Amino acid sequence: MRSVRKCSRTGCLEPAVATLTYAYSDSTAVVGPLATASEPHSYDLCEAHALRLTVPKGWEVVRHEGEFAHPDPSADELTALAEAVREAGRPDRQAPPTEPEGPSGRRGHLRVLPGRS
């Protein structure tokens, strides 16, 4: 099973195998193995984009040596997914409470709660 994270490059649907981070103070771009979690200031890249990355003049690229491996899902991810599917399929599970219909006959996402005295 391959990673569900996709390449950050616009229009690319390939699975991510590398993570790009920038060290602005050193004018360096670092392309390494895929991080275990998606970070807000890093970019996931497919193998093609990780290998073809170019940087502005005066910058340096530090690349991971060797091939980028497709990460296997962790046991925690698989366990959480299995539990969610199991929970959703339970026949004895209570349905969420329904909201009363408003004056227009439509159910809204807002409702009035009584104040405390």
Question: Which of 81 and 71 is assigned the larger pLDDT?
Answer: 81
pLDDT tens digits along 35-57: 888 888 899 999 999 999 999 99
CA distance 101 to 48: 53
Q: Which domain holds residue 19?
A: 1-90
97 belongs to a structural domain: no
pLDDT surpassing 50 at residue 3: no
59 belongs to a structural domain: yes
100 belongs to a structural domain: no
Number of independent structural domains in the chain: 1
CA distance 105 to 101: 6
pLDDT tens digits along 81-102: 666 666 666 666 666 566 555 5
56 belongs to a structural domain: yes
Tell me the percentage of the chain whose pLDDT exceeds 90: 37
pTM: predicted TM-score of the whole model, two decimal places:
0.56
35 belongs to a structural domain: yes
Residue 28: C-alpha distances to residues 23, 31, 60, 74, 88 (Å): 5, 10, 5, 30, 46
Strands (E), 1-117: 18-23, 28-33, 43-45, 60-63
